[in-house]
Amino acid sequence: MYDGKKILITGGTGSLGRALTKFLLTTKIEQIRIFSRNESKQVEMESEFTDERLRFLVGDVRDFKRLCRAMEEIDFVFHAAALKHVPKVEYNPFEAIKTNVTGSQNVIEACLHENVDKAICIGTDKAVSPLNTYGATKLLMEKLFVTAGNYINSEKYRTRFIAVRYGNVLGSSGSVVPKFISQIKNKEILTITDPKMTRFSITMNEALDLIVNAMKYGKGSEIFVPKLRSYTLEDLKKSLIALLGPAQEKIIGVRQGEKLHETLINQDEMNYAWETDDMYMITNQRGYNEERIKKSYNGVKKIQNLEKYSSDVAEKISVNELKALITKSGLLK
Ligand SMILES: NC(=O)c1ccc[n+]([C@@H]2O[C@H](COP(=O)([O-])OP(=O)(O)OC[C@H]3O[C@@H](n4cnc5c(N)ncnc54)[C@H](OP(=O)(O)O)[C@@H]3O)[C@@H](O)[C@H]2O)c1
């Protein structure tokens, strides 16, 4: 799929962007353009990835003209740029609107302008029935992407817009696993919001698989969701104590803007949700037609017997499996 192609990654210096770059460089891709604001992060990445197929473009997704230049002759766009730290976004909500919402619309308009083949945006479970501003801005990003094809003249514009949605990547900055590890290692009190709290678990490799599959399989206007298991904070605590030693703990309660359980597909979306062997797919509500979907997508089935797909009802990862996952992730070093 990537042989001889040129791709652009917005937010290419971020944790996902770097992992995606590493993967794409293993293919016969012709060029990868990294698009982000901070030149220092680009310089650092440039010295780590010495590959002449890489190009580094300083730019902001808020700047439509710059995006158009960056997308000249581009085949595929991965839109990963975002403001993503929940408390930061809560404190600076309109900045997140400018980057996550207006910036995403700029990406869409630039794709159409430059005749990009496919574009995929990276969404989050926090966008499902959102409780915080970050989730709300990412919901709008998703909506902009999956509806972008609804109103365009398909003879004039060819870009197909796709979304993926997943939960916190294991070990990503600001997430619970590195926080607990640091608290135990530094002999601090383990601050547990609620032992019953559940979260979906996804590794960076699983996230990459989803994105790569969605890019290949998507025909436009779908949201792809991985099939994941979840864990409780109680089990996470037990696994880290088993790995790192004892710790005192304090229950601090669920924080503002935080949910006890995360949802990847809510009850209403289930009406339009299908599955393949590897992933779930929420289809476009506009012109929804089950026969057409069965014909268009190889091997899809309508999801049965699942009211909603949330971290409290998903199959749980055992303490021993969590221990193995965390050890393998390298986060304990
Ligand atoms: N990490 C997770 O657990 C997780 C889970 C679900 C979904 N996601 C989504 O996945 C995407 C990537 O996440 P990540 O963990 O890789 O984030 P990250 O490490 O914080 O990287 C974000 C990237 O976006 C760039 N960026 C931020 N604002 C920008 C702007 N206005 N214009 C251009 N570039 C901008 C940043 O570089 P500069 O600051 O230099 O511009 C950086 O390269 C995000 O959309 C996030 O919402 C992440």
Report the 10 Å Cβ neighbour count for 88: 15
pLDDT per position as a tens digit, 179-209? 999 999 999 999 999 999 999 989 999 999 9
Residue 175 lies in a domain: no
pLDDT per position as a tens digit, 214-223? 999 999 999 9
Confidence of residue 153 (pLDDT cuts 50, 70, 90): confident
SS3 state of residue 176: helix
Confidence of residue 152 (pLDDT cuts 50, 70, 90): confident
pLDDT score at 174: 75
Domain count, the chain: 1
Q: Are 54 and 94 in contact, with CB atoms under 8 Å apart?
A: no
Q: What is the CA radius of gyration of the chain?
A: 20
pLDDT score at 175: 83
Kindly list the catalytic residues.
126
Instruction: Assess whether pLDDT exceeds 90 at residue 263.
Output: yes
Cα gap 46→37, rounded to integer Å: 14
Cα gap 288→301, rounded to integer Å: 15
Confidence of residue 145 (pLDDT cuts 50, 70, 90): very high
Nearest protein CA to atom 5 of ligand 1, as residue: 168
**Protein residues with CB under 6 Å of any ligand 1 atom:** 10-17, 36-38, 41, 60-62, 80-84, 99, 103, 122, 124, 138, 166, 168-169, 172
How far separated are the first and last CA of the chain, in Å rounded?
Answer: 36
pLDDT score at 10: 98
What is the residue range of 62's domain?
Answer: 6-167+201-228+264-308
- Measure 154 CA to ligand 1 centroid, in angstroms: 30
Residue 252 lies in a domain: no
Residue 207 lies in a domain: yes
SS3 state of residue 2: coil
Cα gap 71→116, rounded to integer Å: 8
Mean per-residue pLDDT of the chain: 95
Instruction: Assess whether pLDDT exceeds 90 at residue 227.
Output: yes
- Measure 88 CA to ligand 1 centroid, in angstroms: 13
Give the list of residues 6+ apart from residue 333 with CB closer than 8 angstroms, or none: none
- Measure 167 CA to ligand 1 centroid, in angstroms: 14
68 is written with which tokens? 């158009």
DSSP secondary structure string for all residues of 91-143: HSHHHHIIIIIIHHHHHHHHHHHTT-SEEEEEEEGGGSS--SHHHHHHHHHHH
Residue 190 lies in a domain: no
- Measure 268 CA to ligand 1 centroid, in angstroms: 28
Instruction: Assess whether pLDDT exceeds 90 at residue 56.
Output: yes
Relative to the CA of 141, which ligand 1 atom is closest? 45
Residue 76 φ then ψ, to 5°: -130, 140
Confidence of residue 298 (pLDDT cuts 50, 70, 90): confident
Residue 323 lies in a domain: no
Relative to the CA of 121, which ligand 1 atom is closest? 45
Q: Is the pTM of this model over 0.75?
A: yes
Confidence of residue 305 (pLDDT cuts 50, 70, 90): confident
Residue 98 lies in a domain: yes
CATH of the domain at 20: 3.40.50.720
pLDDT per position as a tens digit, 68-96? 999 999 999 999 999 999 889 999 999 99
Pocket test of ligand 1: the residue of 9, 10, 13, 16 to mutate, having most ligand atoms within 8 Å of its CB, is: 16
Q: Are 158 and 215 in contact, with CB atoms under 8 Å apart?
A: no
Residue 187 lies in a domain: no
| Backbone CA torsion sign across 119, 122, 125, 127 | negative
Angle at 197 between CA 193 and CA 199, to 5 degrees: 115
Q: Average pLDDT, stretch 103-129?
A: 97
pLDDT per position as a tens digit, 5-36? 999 999 999 999 999 999 999 999 999 999 99
DSSP secondary structure string for all residues of 53-92: TEEEEE--TT-HHHHHHHTTT-SEEEE------HHHHHHS
As a whole number of angstroms, the longest Cα–Cα distance in the chain is 64
Report the 10 Å Cβ neighbour count for 246: 10
Residue 178 lies in a domain: no
